Amino acid sequence: MFRKILIANRGEIACRVIKTCRRLGIQTVAVYSEADQGAQHVRLADEAYPIGPAPAAESYLVIDAILAAIAKSGADAVHPGYGFLSENRRFAEALEAAGVAFIGPSTAAIAAMGDKIESKKLAKAAGVNTVPGFPDAIKDAEQAVKIAGEVGYPVMIKASAGGGGKGMRLAWNAQEAREGFVSASNEARSSFGDERVFVEKFIEQPRHIEIQVLGDKHGNILYLNERECSIQRRHQKVIEEAPSPFLDTKTRAAMGAQAVALARQVGYSSAGTVEFIVGPDRDFYFLEMNTRLQVEHPVTELITGIDIVEQMIRVAWGEPLSFAQKDVKLNGWAIESRLYAEDPYRGFLPSTGRLVRYRLPEESPHVRIDTGVTEGSEISLYYDPMIAKLCTWGKTRDEAIGHMQAALDACHIDGISHNLDFLAAVAAHPRFREGRLSTAFIAEEFPEGFHGAELQPEQRQALYGVAALLLYRSALRETTIAGQMPSYRPPPDTAFIVRAGEESLPVAIQPTALGVRVEIAGKSFDVESAWQPGATLFQGQVAGRPLSALVRRRGLGFRLTHGGAEVDVAVLRPRAAELAALMPAKQPPDTSKFLLCPMPGLVVAIHVVPGEAVKAGQPLAVVEAMKMENVLRAERDGVVAKIAAAAGDSLAVDQVILEFE
């Protein structure tokens, strides 16, 4: 077996590979950019070597820098993870020339399937159903408009070397096709060093279902069932699950057989994924093949019991697969939620900063966590915004969803914005629970963006009861403070007014052995918990049902986060509630005359000049953050008064870009 493996990657996937290597007794080597000097993968590896400045194009994408680290460390194999150089043929060839094993498929397979344009041609020649489109590289924006018109709108403009949602734009008309070509090309160039894009027909109401394949160097190829990856935003997967709630046994077998046939066509070895678009009638079309490990591989591991990273290593060493297709089982259900550093309340814009608080639930047979950061880690603007992958397993889909909801409620992250609330809202959504999914799910169910989950009345009352217990315990703690007059230790109040938004309800509290009995709006129920003042997570029973909520003190009450909703609950004495009702509401500042930078990022372009009249929807500026370009448009007609930023400027969140008259 290999003696030492260098991991040409960073973040959670580098930590994931290290975990399997440790179990196999293989030494590991990490590489890191200047931004990752103190990163988790660097601390976990046996050795670590610097490879350059923070931008990926100057470090993780520099083949010579990786080769130099290999030479210094004496590693005899390289695992590329996903992204960066994982599907780069030149990198695999350079390793082969250096006598170092590449833990992945052959260079011929990478060339055949890693290039999205060439893979579609090969798939079509092999008799695989493909999506209608123009398979060659588009030369310029005008050709993109011409081809899109011939294919028929809507169309998808995609980077040939793309992946992970980078370099993809959906166009419904000529203007969007023109703009989409420019943005997709720019993203493809900065992310992959390859600006080629192509156009294909966009299948409406599609599901994104992929087949995990695994092959060895002895001609054995099999598939490890499917993954449903339809919950996406901007073509970036958000929640994945295995198996798919949509496929039947017949369709699963047909897709698996086609995926294996395609892999066999190119002599595939190692782990790979054949992605399909599946229509409402279960007709499926080849989308692309990823010749690498997928981000969402944990859900396949959870339902099959197969360590895919281990199999990749063994295949690269030359071992035959130790199991056959008939040995691949489908055990239970697994779901993965991608925890991102992004703000769902501000259009999912990227967030950067330090993880001031980072507490996730403990791993168990039902919960798996893949992460590359710890409390105190910095989330950088140079790389993608993934913080962790939270995976749960259950005997049934409902059970797996239940474990996911509990796990999400048990997370506590501060210091940056994140999508925990959004993930919880999706997990609780009736349509998601029914399995009625498509890649348009988020756009259809959250058409006006995300503004927090809607709680049912009984859920809100449960949180009011929790707030009452929290305040009672806090007041009880205060009565024990040293130095008080012995004759003055009044017991905590037991009658309050709970205020949350426009709602105001009287609450009566009666202490019990494990908590309190709460009476709200004529309903009485017990709230039981070991919570003590200072704890940031409430875990207990409310009306006999388990409930977890994140707790933050807010003045005379608490901000409670549960089920994707944030609820500010003030718990007041009756007289204080009377006076609070007379207080005027604080009005937010007027920022309508300014275009503010919505997230920390780099200004790519300013499209207007002072004195220019602009129309609603007109592009004003482009800001890049975490390898994604964001076009900022005018919300209404106006005239530009002053430009406060220029291309190349690094801006903080809410920094002024331009001002209107």
- Active site amino acids: 288
3-class secondary-structure state, position 584: coil
Integer Cα distance of 490 and 488 in angstroms: 6
340-372: burial string, b at 16+ Cβ within 10 Å, e else = bbbbbbbebbbbbbebeebebbeeeebbbbbbb
The answer to whether 386 and 339 have CB atoms below 8 angstroms apart is: yes
Helix, strand, coil in percent for the chain, rounding step 5: 30, 35, 35
Using DSSP bridges, classify how beta strands 101-102 and 77-79 pair: parallel, antiparallel or unpaired. Answer: parallel
Query: What is the largest distance, in Å, between two alpha-carbon atoms of the chain?
Result: 91
Q: Closest by alpha carbon to 350, among 193, 531, 165, 202?
A: 165
Interatomic CA distance for residues 639 and 78, integer angstroms: 55
- Check: CB of residue 383 under 8 Å from CB of residue 51: no
Tell me the HSE value of 171 on the side-chain side, using a 13 A CA sphere.
33
138: which DSSP letter? P
Sequence-ordered alpha helix ranges (H) in 410-456: 420-428, 430-434, 441-445
State residue 614 phi and psi, 5-degree precision. Answer: -120, 155
Distance CA 105, CA 315 (A): 9
Distance CA 157, CA 170 (A): 6
Beta strands 221-233 and 166-171: pairing type? unpaired
Distance CA 115, CA 121 (A): 10
- The secondary element (H helix, E strand) that includes residue 482 is none
Strand-by-strand arrangement of the 656-660 sheet: 594-596, 656-660, 638-643, 613-614
Is-contact 551 471, C-beta < 8 A?
no
10 Å Cβ neighbour count for 57?
Answer: 15
Q: Which amino acid is at 141?
A: A
Distance in angstroms (rounded) separating the CA atoms of residues 308 and 46: 22
What residues contact residue 500 under an 8 Å CB cut-off, 6+ apart?
460, 463, 464, 567, 568, 569, 570
Pairing mode, strands 166-171 and 155-163: antiparallel
